[in-house]
Amino acid sequence: MSDRHDWILPLTSAGLLVLAFLTPFPPANALLFVPVLVWLERSPDADARARFRGMLRFTVPAYAVARYWVWAMWSISWLASLMWLGLIVLFAVPNAAALAVAAWMRRAAGWSWGVVLPVCWLPVEWVRTFGDLRMTADHIAYGVAKYPFFCQFAVVVGAYGVGAVVLATNGLLADVWLGGGRRRWTGVASLVILLGAVLGYDAWAWHRWAEPVEETVRVAIVQPNVAVDTKNDLSTSVEQLRTLNRLTFEAADRGAELIVWPETARPEPMYHWVDIPGTYRLPEISPVARTLGVAMLIGSEYGQVRTEDDYDFYNAAFAVHPDGIVDPVWAAKSYLVPFVEKTPLEALLGRLVRGKGGD
């Protein structure tokens, strides 16, 4: 294969991966691996090192663009640039290795791409959910999360099952594209069976949940558009609350019975001194719930303070009853995103991130 194709096909897959994650374009999810699999299939003389380099031409550009959100942290610290590079390595290198191994398995065992692609890719996603740098986001399944109809079967198989279907579909399409004769028709038949089963269940589940139920709750989600640097500027707290309250009253006027403020929407944390029960409160939110007579679910940072030097901090959610009482039961994220919400490898990076004083 020419040097030009050594770049064009991997970069095409990179562009499709970005489209799959960032845009409502369903074909990207079904096709994103096909160009790079074509490159692997049509490079039979490439050794393991060459295959790995070729896969890096796919994964590095793809994740460099897909991690664009990291640059929102630049206003907080220049270390965002190092975080961006680190995340590219965290995603690009293992995934490129997984594809290189898939190509080896394909040649050694003669298996379909519809088999070797899920078998090699999904373990990398699973392993990446462990350790202090674990990332639970951006599994390949999340690309189809924007299409509720197509995700109904996730109730049965979970996120990894959805990912397996996406990967198998890509692999089978590559088989159809590359194959001839019996192999091509085997790929077509496998695709029909796989997608027929999935879409059949989706249609059944979609119709089932569309049936009227006896009781319903009208839910409104308030989503203010606040930039990170504005969000972290306490001088803007009053303006942020004013916007949240305006949207909340608008939602109540439209008949909402439960109003949700999303993750950390409350501008300032709740500091709850555990020995002072009266500090467990949301003083600017309870009156709103009481005035409107609606229940509210509030995302807020939560400091559970025992002493000035002994405290725990959470990314939490609080239920506020229509009478304004904050429910004593609260929930928090079980894992905070590395660098964005929590300093990973605290002993090594803590002082670097917080400064010499450790504050």
Per-residue pLDDT at 138: 78
CB neighbours of residue 219 within 10 Å: 13
The pLDDT averaged over each successive group of 10 residues in the chain (359 residues) is: 73 94 90 94 83 94 87 73 86 95 91 95 92 79 91 93 96 91 89 96 86 82 82 84 94 96 92 94 95 96 91 93 96 78 68 50
Per-residue pLDDT at 336: 75
Cα separation, 163 vs 227, in Å, equals 32
What φ, ψ does residue 314 adopt, rounded to 5°?
-130, 155
Residue 95: HSE in the Cβ half-sphere, 13 Å Cα cutoff? 24
Cα separation, 186 vs 83, in Å, equals 44
Which tokens sit at 256?
A: 């909402």
Per-residue pLDDT at 4: 62
Per-residue pLDDT at 354: 57
Per-residue pLDDT at 356: 43
Per-residue pLDDT at 357: 39
> CA gyration radius for the chain?
25
Cα separation, 165 vs 197, in Å, equals 11
Q: For the full predicted model, state whether its pTM sits above 0.75.
A: yes
Residue whose entry in the numeric block shows the structure tokens 């295959």: 51
Strands (DSSP E) found in the chain: 219-221, 258-261, 270-273, 295-307, 310-320, 326-332
- Rounded alpha-carbon distances, angstroms, from residue 277 to 24, 304, 327: 47, 11, 13
In three-state secondary structure terms, 295 is strand
Cα separation, 279 vs 306, in Å, equals 12
Per-residue pLDDT at 328: 95
What φ, ψ does residue 329 adopt, rounded to 5°?
-90, 125
Residue pair 303/335 in contact by the 8 Å Cβ criterion: no
What φ, ψ does residue 303 adopt, rounded to 5°?
-100, 115
Per-residue pLDDT at 303: 93
- Rounded alpha-carbon distances, angstroms, from residue 322 to 220, 270, 278, 295, 296: 15, 20, 19, 5, 8
Cα separation, 200 vs 178, in Å, equals 28
Which tokens sit at 175?
A: 């088989």
Q: How far apart are the first and last CA of the chain?
A: 55
Virtual CA dihedral for 160, 116, 7, 21, nearest 10 degrees?
Answer: -10
